[in-house]
Amino acid sequence: MSSSLDARQATMDATQLYREDIFTDRRVGTIRRLTPVGADGELDPKRAVLFIGQAQVMTPVGAVPISFDLEAATLAAAIGKFGAAAEQAVQQTMQELQELRREQASSLVIPDAAAGALNPSDLIGGRGARTRR
């Protein structure tokens, strides 16, 4: 690491550790279950288990991964909420992509101020060029 800032960013927070389990139907998506643990690897009952859904949306430029929280207390509940949460995440992602496209399309290109000071004859035939007849 080249600086103390880099070293701090690479330090893991022992109070925020999770064990990760992955569940998939190999068709629609994946559910990650994050179980809180202490630095010793034992369960931390003071923190809640987290469920995160993951899916992919095919676009003209390829697959776009989408992750979304699943508000659930059990894996069965997370499975039950997966479809609706995935649909909402896809809609939100598509809206964000459309907004980015609109911003790109509406961005103005402002020419350099010095370009306006050029003499048109400098661009055609070079400075002071004369044609022979």
Residue 69 lies in a domain: yes
Q: Which is more confident, 110 or 92? A: 92
**What number is the average pLDDT over the span 70-82?**
98
Retrieve residue 35's tokens: 């179980």
Of 80, 25, 82, 26, nearest to 52 by C-alpha is 82
Q: How far apart, in whole angstroms, are the C-alpha atoms of residue 78 and residue 32?
A: 10
pLDDT above 90: residue 117: no
Residue 107 confidence class, pLDDT cut points 50, 70, 90 = confident
Segment 78-93 shows an average pLDDT of 96
pTM: 0.69
Q: In this structure, is residue 120 part of a structural domain?
A: no
- Name the average pLDDT for the chain: 84
- Give tens-digit pLDDT for 21-51: 999 999 999 999 999 999 999 999 999 999 9
CA gap 2, 9 in Å, rounded: 12
Q: Judge residue 55's burial from the number of C-beta atoms within 10 Å of its C-beta, 0-12 exposed, 13-18 middle, 19 or more buried.
A: buried
Tokens 């961005």 locate to 107
Q: In terms of residue numbers, what domain contains 70? A: 4-94
Instruction: Check: CB of residue 76 under 8 Å from CB of residue 109.
Output: no
Res 59: pLDDT: 81
Domain count, the chain: 1
Residue 74: inside a domain: yes
Counting residues of the chain whose pLDDT is more than 90, the rounded percentage is 56
Q: For residue 46, tell me if it sits in a domain.
A: yes
DSSP for 42-83 reads -B-TTS--EEEEEEEEEETTEEEEEEEEE--SSHHHHHHHHH
Q: Which of 23-32, 95-104, 111-120 has the highest average model confidence (pLDDT)?
A: 23-32
